[in-house]
Structure 1
Amino acid sequence: MRNQGLGSWIHKRRVKSAGKTAIISSAGQLAYDDFALRVDRLASAFADRGLAKGDRLAYLGENHAAFLETFFACGTLGAIFVPLNTRLAPPEIQFALQDSGSKILVHARTLEGLAVRGGRETAVTHRLVVEDGPATVSPDGEIESGTAVELFEDAIASGSDEHRDVEVSLDDPAMILYTSGTTGRPKGALLTHGNMTWNSFNVLVDYDMASTDVALMIAPMFHVASLGMGVLPALLKGATVVLEPKFEPGRTLQLIEQYKATSISGVPTTYQLLCEHPDWDKTDINSLQKLTCGGSAVPMRVLEAYESRGLSFSGGYGMTETAPGATSLAPNKSREKAGSAGLPHFFTDVRIADPAGKILPAREVGEIQISGPNVIKEYWNRPDATAESYADDVWFKSGDMGYVDEEGYLFISDRLKDMIISGGENIYPAEVEQIIVELEAVSSVAVIGVPDPKWGEVPRAIVTVREGFNLSEEDVQNHLRDRLARYKIPKSVVVVEDLPRTASGKIRKADLRKQYSS
């Protein structure tokens, strides 16, 4: 085959796993051979609508079989897949579509309003609608001008059964994932077919995934953690993937029992809500074998709740730019190495360096830097960000601080200086601050994370107000409501007379966290 990338995977599984269930979703069950046929037809339909190698196609929707059919159809053509976070506001969707230059937008019917508003003044010429429920709003005819709209299933029906073997190498781009930058402008991490393939190899080696696994995906696939650490390795191995569009603890427990799920992944909040649900003790979860958790350490009380049911966690550390795995902590080390993010993945290297680039010995804190075939080479259309992100041309500078112990286990001492992780979602304060400061009453602002029993942490805005003006918490939240995703909007606003600053005028957020994080 000329296609050495992700687009060849399902075609090869067509024979190897014929008749075996590949995907279970709200659309029903789909065997590998039927999956491959639908991917080929969709690739043909995309090509007929002008999509070619190197072109971009965006997807806006929750976990659904159509997401993966679209992903692999893009891989078949050598086109670049652009998954969009369904929780973003229309201007954020619009930016991603404009920046990527996406020609086709596939989206859920339930997100039609967001797709229409976010798609205005972009390069999108075709909009394919996945029938997963009623539309949120009626489309605006003026915005739709020049955009062809049709049903996803009609597009598949129009395509040819013939498999297209386009020349695609592991170095070719496969996907653009937008991640909010510390400067406030989102960056598109350009992941290659090789990045995703080698990450899948890491998962198969370090997490012992088997073809008999049933992977329940309760985290959204538009995040690389769900796609890279769960879905793709499972499909590569010929396992079964169960897609759930929204996480709801009671429903998740039902699915574990119904489908005899062997693996789930999530963030600490996910596992906390599961074990605190009234059905926890009466649900049969004996099929579970693998629990993976990222984002932050699992609280001891949650760890003990799962241990009482004979389960333990695999931890880990990573980011979008590492596709996403960098390290993993084996379940049998969860107590001995409590607080550790584990060892580097099998095909990945991690080092700790000081600001001058000197490699630091064990127990000395420095920047975590990562190298390996799973690490991106560049950001989409951002040579400036690319140049700033690498040391010695091969080591990705994470911006996170940590150290390794004498055995090489990584410990995170501080996350990216200002980043907030709320329920598994990354929030970069600069992005929020740039919009808050647009308010005429605001003279300066700093956004920090504060502890939250449900989400781990949530954003809080600390603001100073210009003389002669008044500002309420509601004023700030209303200003942000249609501009940012809800999880990025500060849950509280504190008005202060002044913000602590360094001699160069930079706000000392460490001081603010000490004073206002409780």
Structure 2
Amino acid sequence: MQNHGLGSWLATRRQKHPDKVALIFNAQDSGEDERLTYAELADRADAFSGMLWQRDVRKGDAVAYLGENSPDFLAALFGCAQLGAVFVPVNTRLAPPEIEHVLRDSSARVLVHGPGFAERVRPVAASAGVPHRIQTGERGADGEPGLDAILREGLRGHVDAGVAHEDPAAILYTSGTTGRAKGAVLSHGNLTWVSVNALVDYDIVSTDVALMISPLFHAASLGMGALPTLLKGGTMVLEQGFDAGRALALIEHYGVTMLSGVPTTYQLMADHPAWPTTDVSTLAKLTCGGSAVPTRILEAYEARGLSFSQGYGMTETSPGATSLAPEMTRAKQGSVGLPHFFTEVRVAATEPGPEGAHAIAPRGTVGEIEVRGPNVFLGYRGLPEATAAAFTADGWFRSGDLGYLDEDGYLFIADRLKDMIISGGENIYPAEIEDLLNGLEGVTGAAVIGVPDEQWGEVPWAVLTLAPDADAEALGTDAVRAALDGRLARYKLPKRVVVVDDFPRTASGKIRKADLRARYAG
């Protein structure tokens, strides 16, 4: 094959295991579902690449996809990869102006979208200058043929374009928590190597059944879940969204072995009435990102004989940078683990040394986390200055995150540089306070932000979500300060506690602290 990237994967799987089930989707309560074998998924990707070719899409051209998890998402990804076209998955939660920015910034030549997004994208696709807009399903929103009809009547056969590992494969737009979203360009090599890292460090095997409950447009779900599962020849149970009760039912029905999520995902499952009676004995690989797993969640799963692999990463690292093996969850509690097998991590001092360079921070000292490896992105699309600023002179990616390495080389996250609070000249890392807040009875979530203060410059505020039966009085400002007094330096105690129904979150489940700061510190 001339294609050394993702475009060769499904053709190879079709040759090796054509009848193996690749995808299970649209699962019904009756037990009936739809399935695609590797041969059928490969055929659909072939047809998608043919559809693009007929619309003059060539190597390097961008193709955007806006829709919920579905086989079409994967057909589009691998169909683009066959041609060397660049796949642009669009966050389904974006508002029309944000979608327009993605389409315009990526110079997308084709937009494929689900039926539910037709009204949202019709005006912005035109204003962004996208030549072709195609709706999934049999018919389009305006009566034109839909994707199913187009693929059925289009070109057949596998396209084998010359593609190298260094060529762009996808552009994933960062969540845009500060400023306009930037397009992180991931190469075929980036996505291949992050998949290999997952295979090595998570022991993924061809008999694994992975329940995909997170959106595939997110780097973690794609790079650490879908791609390694397909590379290894496993089976995915593909869900359009997350419902705790449904997830538990699917785990039992299909004998799910792999599940990825954020702490909230796992908490909602453990709090569901069906949790004690659901057979979870097949679960062997639970991965969690976004933030450290609180002790109460660890205990709930350990009581069922389950443990977690925790990790750290970001879109720019495709996304995996580190992983903590399940057997080290307790011994290194609070850590996000060791670097992935083919990835390096170091911590640099936040202040320059005597000659202007940022030296490597001593073990146990907080500094900026830097990452190097074949999974680190090519750069930000159309932003050479931002790309240059994201890398050190010797080629390490500057994460913008604060952390430290312990004596054994395990990474601990302190916080985002932009989230650090400076109060009276003292640095406050919110993650330290949040960890204690999450341990208070009745607290289901915590975010600590810096709020301007005339005397101290900034002071920390705590924003909490509570369980329905929580004692709100016992979790007021005075009570929380009293509970934490003695466990934290007094300047770190929250100046005020605010209770909210829910947090603003990114698609990956991370709390949007910029939104909280705008609400309470504006």
Comparing 163-172 with 278-287, greater Cα deviation is found at 278-287
Within 5 A, what are the aligned runs for 1:354-503?
A: 354-355=349-350, 356=352, 357-418=358-419, 450-453=463-466, 490=515
Match in the other structure for 2:332: 337
Task: Name 1:110's counterpart in structure 2.
Answer: 116
Q: 1:259 maps to which residue?
A: 254
Q: Does 1:83 align with 2:89?
A: yes
Q: Secondary structure at the match of 2:414?
A: strand
Give the secondary-structure state (helix, strand or coil) at the position aligned to 2:97.
Answer: helix
Spell out, residue by residue over 1:433-488, the C-alpha distance to the aligned partner (whole angstroms, 9 max, x if none). Answer: xxxxxxxxxxxxx999833358xxxxxxxxxxxxxxxxxxxxxxxxx9xxxx9x86
Tell me, in whole angstroms, the C-alpha distance in 2 between the residues paired with 1:124 and 1:150. Answer: 18
Instruction: Work out the CA distance in 1 between the residues paired with 2:96 and 2:401.
Output: 30
Describe the SS at the equivalent of 1:391.
Answer: coil
The 3 A distance-change label for structure 1 pair 492 and 376 is: closer
**Cα shift readout 1:134-169 (whole Å, capped 9, x = no counterpart):** 99xx77xxxxxxxx9530101211222221110000
- 1:437 maps to what in 2? none
Query: Partner residue of 1:3?
Result: 3
Aligned partner letter, 2:53: A
Determine the structure 2 residue equivalent to 1:98: 104
Q: Which residue matches 2:275? A: 280
Task: Give the one of 296, 302, 314 matched to 1:307.
Answer: 302
- Indicate whether 1:184 and 2:182 are aligned: no
Query: How does the TM-score come out when normalised to structure 1?
Result: 0.79
Secondary structure of 1:216's counterpart equals strand
Which residue of 52, 64, 75 corresponds with 1:58?
64
Provide the C-alpha distance between the structure 2 equivalents of 1:183 and 1:261, rounded to a whole number of angstroms: 37
Shift of 1:110: 1.6
Q: Which residue is 2:134 aligned to? A: 128
The 2-side partners of 1:332 and 1:248 are apart by 28
2:214 alignment partner in structure 1? 219
- The answer for the alignment partner of 1:475 in structure 2 is none
Q: Structure 1 residues 344, 262: CA separation in 2 closer, same or farther (over 3 Å shift)? A: same
Q: Deviations over 1:235-274 (max 9, x none)?
A: 0000001110010101111111111110000000000000
Superposed CA deviations along residues 37-66 of structure 1, whole A, max 9, x for unmatched, are 111111111110121110000000111110
Q: CA RMSD, aligned part only?
A: 2.9
**SS across alignment from 1:343:** strand
Rounded Cα–Cα distance in structure 2 between residues aligned with 1:490 and 1:399: 19
- Which deviates the most, 80-89 or 108-117? 108-117
8 Å CA contact retained: 1:216, 1:242: yes
Within 2, Cα distance between the matches of 1:176 and 1:393?
24
1:194-220 per-residue CA deviation (whole Å, 9 max, x = no partner) reads 000000010000000000000000000
C-alpha displacement at 1:118, in angstroms? 3.3
User: 1:311/1:333 Cα in 2 relative to 1: closer, same or farther (>3 Å)?
Assistant: same
Q: Letter of the aligned partner of 1:20 in structure 2?
A: K
Q: Distance in 1 between matches of 2:520 and 2:345?
A: 41
TM-score normalized by the length of structure 2: 0.79
The letter of the residue matching 2:404 is: Y
Question: What is the CA–CA distance in structure 2 between the aligned matches of 1:50 and 1:96, rounded to whole Å?
Answer: 21
Gaps of 5+ in 1: 140-147, 430-445, 455-479, 500-518
Distance verdict in 2 for CA 1:239–1:414, change over 3 Å: same
Shift of 1:336: 0.4
Corresponding residue number in structure 1 for 2:292? 297
Contact 1:170-1:192 within 8 A present in 2 as well: yes
Whichever residue aligns with residue 413 of structure 2, its letter is: I
SS in 1 for 2:126: coil
Decide which moves more: 158-167 or 299-308: 158-167
Corresponding residue for residue 51 of structure 2: 45
CA distance in 2, matches of 1:30, 1:165: 22
Partner SS for 1:150: coil
DSSP 3-state at the match of 2:164: coil
1:21 and 1:115 map into 2 onto residues whose CA distance is 33
Quote the Cα distance in structure 1 between the aligned partners of 2:297 and 2:47.
45
Q: Contact 2:182–2:381 (CA<8 Å) still a contact in 1?
A: yes
Given that residues 177 and 320 in structure 1 are in contact (C-alpha distance below 8 angstroms), is that contact kept between their aligned partners in structure 2? yes
Match of 1:171 in 2: 166
Which deviations, in whole Å up to 9, do the C-alpha atoms of 1:325-345 show, x marking residues without a partner? 000000000000000000000
Which residue number in structure 2 is paired with residue 462 of structure 1?
none
Does structure 2 conserve the Cα–Cα contact (< 8 Å) formed by 1:127 and 1:149? no
Larger mean Cα displacement after TM superposition, 181-190 or 79-88: 181-190
Retained in 2: the 8 A contact 1:400–1:416?
yes
Q: 2:233 aligns with which of 238, 254, 260?
A: 238
Q: CA deviation at 1:74?
A: 0.3
- Whether the aligned pair in 2 keeps the contact of 1:126 and 1:149 (CA below 8 Å) is no
What is the letter of the counterpart of residue 186 of structure 1? A
**Aligned-partner residue type, residue 163 of structure 1:** H
Deviation at 1:102, TM superposition (A): 0.4
Q: Aligned letter for 1:193?
A: H
Contact residue 45 and residue 158 of structure 1 kept, 8 A:
no
Match of 2:78 in 1: 72
Contact 1:367–1:400 (CA<8 Å) still a contact in 2? Answer: yes
Question: What SS class does the counterpart of residue 264 from structure 2 fall into?
Answer: helix
Output the amino acid matched with 1:4. Answer: H
> Secondary structure, in 3 states, of the residue corresponding to 1:234?
helix
Q: What residue is the counterpart of 1:466 in the other structure? A: none
Q: Is the 8 A contact 2:401 2:413 kept in 1?
A: yes
